Structure 1
Amino acid sequence: MASLAQQKSTKLSLFNFKSISTRTFWITSISFFLCFFAWFGIVPFMPDVVKDLGLTPDQKWNSIILAVSGTVFARLLIGKLCDKYGPRLCYTWLLMLGAIPVILCGLVQTPTQFLICRLFIGFIGASFVITQVHTSLMFAPNIVGTANATSAGWGNLGGGANRLGMPLIAAAVVSFGVADAEAWRYSMVIAGIVCFLMGIVYFFFTKDTPRGNFKELKAAGEMIVAKKDQIGFLAVLKDYRVWILFVVYAASFGIELTVYGTMDDYLQNTFQLERVTAGNIVLSFALMNIFARTLGGFFGDKFGKLKGLRGRVLFLSFILTLQGIMLISFSSATSIVFGIVLLIFFSLTVQMAEGATFSVVPFINKKAIGSISGIVGAGGNVGAFLAAMLLKSKSAMAEKAAIVANEGLGEEVIKAAQSVASSSAVSSGYLLIGFVVVITGIAALAIKFSTEEEENEAPSNVKNTSPELIPIPVKR
């Protein structure tokens, strides 16, 4: 079988569509984009949803928390499934089953139904893990960091593109005679249908590895894992390096999600920007994923070539520490120009840190890439949850105090006081988070590799075959 004879790609040739590695790279990146697009698709319509369903402020916040919580559990599970069944089947089922709650979200009639849908929609956030596993299986060690970072970065664009894409879909729906108040429902249904169709594409146009699907390799006798080589999930959990990377990803991707999720209001309260202006600024930084995350993987690969696996860790530690310094500096910015410059550097470093993280992940244990990717990926959502709770609590306390202090002075005065209090609270929260990120960056240096692991990944010893597969002679 021709596919079984192919090797891992040593180059990211974006337009070589005859290569199964390149084809899979594009399909997995687009699938990830669509999953993120659908996952956050409801965000631009929240004012309409609140009005239509009568959501309370608590229910609105709970819907956000549920979406993140669902993703944490899904990411932990999907990594193990990828190791067992392969990324192709896992992504196919995730896209097709994940489309169901997206479609149902457009049909809900009560707040409870909406909250349930948001919980299950969060499961498609596990698409990130499959994307990283699949690119790790398709690309050789010299380029795997760049491939992982690029596919993840381009997929993450879906989380920002929905700010533009979903309203455009809604406008198109309205042009066919649908009422404005119902447009958000049709938009979610359309997003779900597209995800379902992408699942079909994934099944027919990708393979688990350059050499074939797991099922084919087992049938051909080219994929056998002896009991002594099996890596149990418990063994993965006992590897301290996995948990350091869990915290690292919480401090990078988790903080990016939180900062971008709170930045609109912060820019308005701190620099008196209009909502549209603030939203466009935040969107532009999200779009830096086109190249910034790729840079993190690229430099991870370069440092890996120069200094071995230790070099990858050194770069990760450096860029994560720099990210924390940028956030600390931004938290005290009082000038909009200076603030935007610092925000640019924060966006660049945080996305590079994400790419650098997954230039290290594939080398922790090649027999359990899926499980490790799932745990580390879940760290991002845990970090986002904790940071969001911190900022929410600090802001809520400050605003309540401002209301009490200015009671009886008029609505405009109270609103202005709330704005100042919220800005100050979030600023102090960013400062605290920044210091935590710096400490995490330093702690990343604790990731060590054995002499044997370093030697196995030395350029002179690396082969482009899939190390996860153990070939044996096949009788003819």
Structure 2
Amino acid sequence: MSLNKLNPLDFSQPSIRILHLTWFAFFLSFVVWFSHAPLKPLIVDTLGMSNAQWKALLILNVALTIPARIVIGILVDKFGPRQVFCGLLCSSGVLCLIFASSQTFEQLALTRFLLGFVGAGFVIGIRMVGEWFPARQVGLAEGIYGGWGNFGSAAAAFILPTLAVAVFGSMGGWRAAIASTGVIAIIYGVFYYWRARNTPKGSTYFKPKKSGGMEVSSKKDFYLYIAMNIPMYAILGVLAWRLGPSNIGLLTQNLVYLMWVVLLTLFAFQFSQIYRVNKDMLKHGAPEHDKYDFKQVAVLNWAYFVTFGSELAVVSMLPAFFLETFTSLSLAEAGMLGGAFAFMNLVARPGGGWISDNFGRRRSMSIFIGGLAIGYFVLSQVDAAWPVWLAVMSVMCCSFFVQAGEGAVFAMVPLIKRRMTGQIAGMTGAYGNVGAVTYLTAYSFIDASTFFMIIAGSAVATFFLVQLLVEPRGHMSEMMADGTLQKIELT
């Protein structure tokens, strides 16, 4: 296989087989994660939920993924993608079965909150694909992985309403439809463990020198890293307030206070771990061969906040938006039209990775985020007077820029520091969920038009941040077990 060309249909190549095994694992994690979104009317009717309770469920679904992606990033760097993906799929499959059998809103809320952990599956494949593909191909390979995996939310929107109504029956059918996704996830988790490998034969799986926090290269980067952790805890604190007695009422005021104390404690613990990992660097500096610019990570975090964060928020509300805006649509039709946003993942995310590989990392990301801002502004104008076909076309055009931007972000992530790819991907992925919780929390207070305008505004701000990115060039260095340095080409 050429260093410059990647043929995703060449199954004679072990790397291609790993790519397809891994994107399908990620695809299933997204089916499980968003299995509830297209079934809103059936779930709401069965349990007599209010609209506020449903919006709370949407927020809870993405909340735990914020810390989960950090945890999974650490685990995958330490134990390897094969083991971690198997464990994640099997455990989330069990939680999916519990969600499907829930009898009260409180049970739904708890299990949906815990199911947010499955959204961390994305991080695992980023490290796996980064191990199997060279720098010249990694953007396209990561794009195929992310794009076809993210399509799981669209597949859920297309398939599950029909499965629930036509196959299993109208009211209780949603339970069987959701449970079936859990069973499949468990089976495939075992299959993935059997068939996947962490690295090609003869390759070294580099592990972090220390676990518990990311290594940085300077005092400035240390303080920036601490600052970048604050929004992840802050948005969870806002979520606790939103679920409190003065808002949705799922938590008592004492529980809200307890949540805030827990979050402050966790932040203090995280700070201690980051200091422990970096205390030698703070005293003596980092070796020249080990240095990297954490600013790159921070900019990618915010870029993913506005790209993937907005996608998660939009796919959560879009089927209901179509159903409520265009009242002539059926549940299945609204689910399929809502799935149009995620449908573009099939081409847009690989396309974004390929463009980033070939036409410059910063330039391509700037174009995608600029297009995203315009796309969301257009969506803010959609109302019942629009033809349905025009609304769908607007959704798909906007989603192209959103998902191409995601592909461009993760075309860069594996090129920063190989042995910490899981942690960098985990933090970047977590910021996607910070974005989702932020946008969905805003959505719980406002109408859809204002919701889309807020995303557009945040995209404009991110466009200027992206100009701080530096193109990765030359090579990165990693220390082998015998103390020698290995150079990994970035061009």
User: Normalising to structure 2: TM-score of the pair?
Assistant: 0.75
Determine which structure has more spread, i.e. the larger CA radius of gyration.
1
Cα distance in 1 for partners of 2:187, 2:3 equals 28
Please list the CA deviations of residues 100-150 of structure 1 after superposition, one character each: whole Å capped at 9, or x if unmatched. Answer: 101111222222222111111111111111122211111110010001011
Match of 1:407 in 2: none
The residue type paired with residue 98 of structure 1 is S
Q: Which of 449, 461, 464 pairs up with 1:442?
A: 464
Q: 1:360 to 1:273 in 2, by over 3 A?
A: farther
Q: How far off its partner does 1:299 sit?
A: 0.2
Residues 347 and 193 (structure 1 numbering): CA distance in 2 closer, same or farther, change over 3 Å?
same
| 1:81-111 deviations in Å (ceiling 9; x for gaps) | 1111111111011111111101111222222
Mark the CA change 1:273 to 1:182 in structure 2 (over 3 Å): closer, same or farther: closer
Structure 1 stretch displaced more, 125-134 or 272-281 = 272-281
Match of 2:53 among 56, 59, 69: 59
Pairs aligned (count): 406
SS at 2:444 equivalent: helix
Alpha-carbon distance in 1 for matches of 2:307, 2:77: 25
CA distance in structure 2 between the partners assigned to 1:268 and 1:167 by the alignment: 13
1:315 Cα deviation from its structure 2 partner: 1.4
Q: Does the 8 A contact of 2:66 with 2:434 survive in 1?
A: yes
Deviation at 1:162, TM superposition (A): 0.9
SS for the counterpart of 1:233 is coil
Deviation of residue 158 (structure 1)? 0.9
Distance apart, 1:38 and its partner CA = 1.2
Return the match for 1:43 from 32, 37, 55.
37
Of the candidates 286, 291, 314, which is equivalent to residue 259 of structure 1? 314
Could you tell me the TM-score, scaled by structure 1's length? 0.77
What is the alpha-carbon distance in structure 2 between the residues aligned to residue 170 and residue 279 of structure 1? 12
Match of 1:15 in 2: 9
Question: Does the aligned pair in 1 maintain the 2:77–2:208 contact within 8 Å?
Answer: no
Task: State the identity %.
Answer: 30
Alpha-carbon separation, structure 1, partners of 2:16 and 2:368: 28
**TM-fit CA distance, 1:167:** 3.2
Instruction: Give the distance between the partners of 2:166 and 2:45, measured in 1 at CA.
Output: 22
Unaligned 5+ runs, structure 1:
1-6, 304-310, 396-425, 458-466
CA distance in 1, matches of 2:206, 2:462: 39
What is the match of residue 328 of structure 1? 377
1:288-299 superposed matches below 5 A? 288-299=344-355
Residue aligning to 1:283:
339
Return the alpha-carbon distance in structure 1 between the equivalents of residues 324 and 43 of structure 2: 25
Contact 2:128 2:198 in 1 (8 A): yes
Name the SS of the counterpart of 2:172 in structure 1: helix
Tell me: CA distance 1:111–1:384, structure 2 relative to 1, closer, same or farther (3 Å).
same
Per-residue CA deviations over 1:420-466 (Å, capped at 9, x if unaligned) read: xxxxxx323323321220220121111236xxx62227xxxxxxxxx
- Which residue of structure 1 aligns with residue 249 of structure 2? none
Q: What per-residue deviation string (whole Å, max 9, x for no partner) do you get for residues 51-74 of structure 1? A: 333334333222221111121121
Q: Look up the match of 2:134.
A: 140
Q: In 2 relative to 1, CA 8–44 (structure 1 residues): closer, same or farther, beyond 3 Å? A: same
CA distance in 1, matches of 2:208, 2:54: 50
The verdict on how the C-alpha distance between 1:92 and 1:468 changes in structure 2, with shifts beyond 3 A counting, is: farther
The CA deviation string for residues 203-238 of structure 1, in whole angstroms up to 9 with x for no partner, is 1111001126xxxx7xxxx567695x9995253836
**1:244 pairs with one of 296, 299, 312:** 299
CA distance in 2, matches of 1:166, 1:191: 9
Q: Which amino acid aligns with 2:407?
A: G
- Aligned residue number for residue 438 of structure 2: 386
Q: Deviations over 1:370-408 (max 9, x none)?
A: 00001111111111111122233123xxxxxxxxxxxxx
CA deviation digits over 1:262-309, x for unaligned, max 9?
445555666776455554433233211111111100000002xxxxxx
Q: Is the 8 A contact 1:9 1:138 kept in 2?
A: no
CA RMSD, 1 decimal: 3.0
Report the AA paired with residue 446 of structure 1: L
> Do 1:250 and 1:379's aligned partners in 2 also have CA atoms closer than 8 Å?
yes
Cα shift at 1:10: 6.1
Counterparts of 2:295 and 2:9, CA distance in 1: 39
